[in-house]
Structure 1
Amino acid sequence: MSRPVIGITCYVEPARFTVWDMTTALLPYMYVEHVARAGGQPVIIPPAGDPAELTGRLDGLIIAGGGDIDPARYGSRMHEQTGYVRKFRDEAEFGLMRATLDSGLPFLGICRGLQVLNVALGGSLHQHLPDVVGHTDHSPAPGTFGRVPVRLSPTLAKIYQDDHLTPAHYHHQAVDRLADGLEVTARSEDGTIEAVELGGHPFALAVQWHPEADEDGPLFDALVSAAGRG
């Protein structure tokens, strides 16, 4: 049996490698490793052309972490802490999101991916979470994951085989107004929405934390399994 093809969105940023210093389509390799370990065939999708046309060739999709969404998409002005906005990536990933929702393609959103799902369905975001919760535990320092406990709903508890988790976090934004159709499936102790599920979709889960940063990857297993079922 062939491996399910799992598309993963990526960054486009300046990067330096060997003797080169140039704009690069890049993705932390942890995503690739987890999809391959789970039995999927990872394919990196850059924000070029019309990525939404690819959904018919994929068996599953991951919208990966990244910079902040342009707040104009949910009717807000730019907060002074909002950064790394890449409008070309927004355009590509919102197109992918719409095509995924229309087609029923199995979907996993990670960090930014949860925010894309919520905004695409009409929700909004807290642009700087410390203003809301009064601490920086969700993103303690540049390049440093925080470990924030979350309580899981039965849906995620079944995947993780536990109803509590202390995963790797690196986000300074989070859901404010929850979009219609989304169900909250995890919260942190400070009330932050940390995971959602889209009702009526065969498999559409999104988490605010970074499951790719941990050795075990049950969310990737669940996605690949759903993709394999067609």
Structure 2
Amino acid sequence: MTVVTEVSANQYIGDCASTEFDYEFKIFSEHHLVVIMTDGNGDHEERLTLNKDYTVTGVNCDKGGKIILSSPLFNGNHLLIERCLPAKQEVSFENCKQYNAKQHENAFDYVTMLVQQVLANTSLVLQQPNRFANYFDAKNYRISNISQPKNDNDAVNLALLQSVIKDMDIRSIRVNDIDMPALPDAESRKNKQLGFDQDGQPALFELNELGGE
């Protein structure tokens, strides 16, 4: 055979009924498949177990085969069937032995499949959109598990951002009809009374202006 397709994974969405799903690429062993189930958002991932959660047909078939689940996939859940080869070279070619075309072809096919596997994994990495871009494009995907930032230019996770906003809110004057500016610093606020001007904006007044002593 020759490797005439770059397909090395298939994805499906469950319907609470189907148990058989095609994979459209060749494998040399049933252990060369990784079968992963996730919820609709892809947040919760479960790697299924061969001969417990599913069985495999079509090993060594050029057009692929099927995986057969032991129970139907829940409605809306996603199923990923992906070829995952160990990065090994286990074929031994000995001098003065009869040439075995199929053995050689399988060895070259295996290397090609490994290259496809590397390219597929590389496509999942956060990348610059081109060689000249000075930014990375997340392509509208979330970036999860961001650590606490240490430097000014580090990315900030949602928990820290919410904490900072909360700290700001408890020091803020908020109304539901206009934006309120920050008050002057403490030195400027000394011995002053807080009030509001004719536009409803906060203003500082001398105490005697409001009848203070």
Q: Tell me the TM-score normalised to structure 1 length.
A: 0.19
Computing the radius of gyration from Cα coordinates, the structure with the larger value is 2
Between Structure 1 and Structure 2, the one with more helix by share is 1
Higher relative contact order (CA 8 A, sep 6+): 1
